[in-house]
């Protein structure tokens, strides 16, 4: 009986690689795959004749919107309309009449657009009346303004107040 010589096999414990070594191995594998993909791309596109260079893309001219013409002929309605335009263009804020960037709250926009203090007070009175039609719990314009999350309702109620002032010929 023939017996093969006994061979001894040793098992080698797997080598634990740290993060940098694993990243280096994966990076080398990816470099090899990208090089192969580049060769395949060049072979696949070798038959395509050279195309004209891609023309430069030119941005269209910047169009600035024209100011909205005031649709109201009465002074208080025109003041409320201009206050709305000021909020749309300059920004809306809460907690103060105006901030450092030029944004204004409802009262700040009305005061900035009114020619006199008494006209600003009259415009604020009409605005508060308009707000209280839908928000009976609104005590003041600043408290209602500060409770809003964005300028959408502030602009809406400025428009409604302007329409109300115009209907009253004020």
How do residues 82-138 score in pLDDT, each as one tens digit?
999 999 999 999 999 999 999 999 999 999 999 999 999 999 999 999 999 999 999
Handedness of CA 93, 98, 102, 108 (dihedral sign): positive
Of 60 and 109, the one with more pLDDT: 109
Confidence at residue 10, expressed as pLDDT on a 0 to 100 scale = 74
Tokens 């600003």 correspond to 120
pLDDT averaged over every residue in the chain: 89
CA distances from 95 to 2, 103, 105, 131, 143 (A): 100, 11, 8, 18, 9
Q: Are 90 and 102 in contact (CB under 8 A)?
A: yes
Q: What residue segments make up the domains of the chain, in order of their start?
A: 75-167
d(CA 127, CA 129) in angstroms, rounded, equals 5
How distant is the alpha carbon of residue 49 from its chain centre?
Answer: 44
- Measured in Å, how far apart are the chain's first and last C-alpha atoms? 124
pLDDT at 7 > cutoff 70: no
Confidence at residue 61, expressed as pLDDT on a 0 to 100 scale = 80
How distant is the alpha carbon of residue 146 from its chain centre?
Answer: 21
The two structure tokens encoding residue 84:
């709305």
């Amino acid at each position: 009986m023939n017996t093969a010589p006994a061979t001894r096999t040793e098992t080698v414990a797997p080598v634990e690689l740290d993060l940098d070594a694993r990243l280096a191995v994966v990076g080398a594998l990816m470099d090899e795959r990208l090089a192969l993909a580049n060769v395949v791309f060049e072979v696949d596109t070798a038959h395509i004749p050279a195309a004209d260079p891609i023309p430069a893309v030119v941005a269209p001219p910047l169009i600035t919107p024209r100011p909205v013409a005031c649709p109201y002929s009465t002074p208080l309605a025109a003041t409320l309309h201009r206050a709305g335009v000021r909020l749309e263009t300059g920004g809306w804020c809460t907690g103060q009449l105006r901030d450092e960037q030029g944004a204004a709250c409802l009262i700040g926009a009305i005061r900035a657009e009114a020619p006199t203090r008494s006209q600003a007070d009259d415009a604020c009175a009409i605005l508060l009346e308009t707000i209280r039609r839908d928000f009976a719990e609104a005590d003041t314009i600043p408290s209602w303004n500060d409770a809003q999350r964005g300028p959408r309702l502030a602009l809406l109620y400025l428009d409604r107040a302007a329409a109300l002032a115009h209907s009253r010929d004020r």
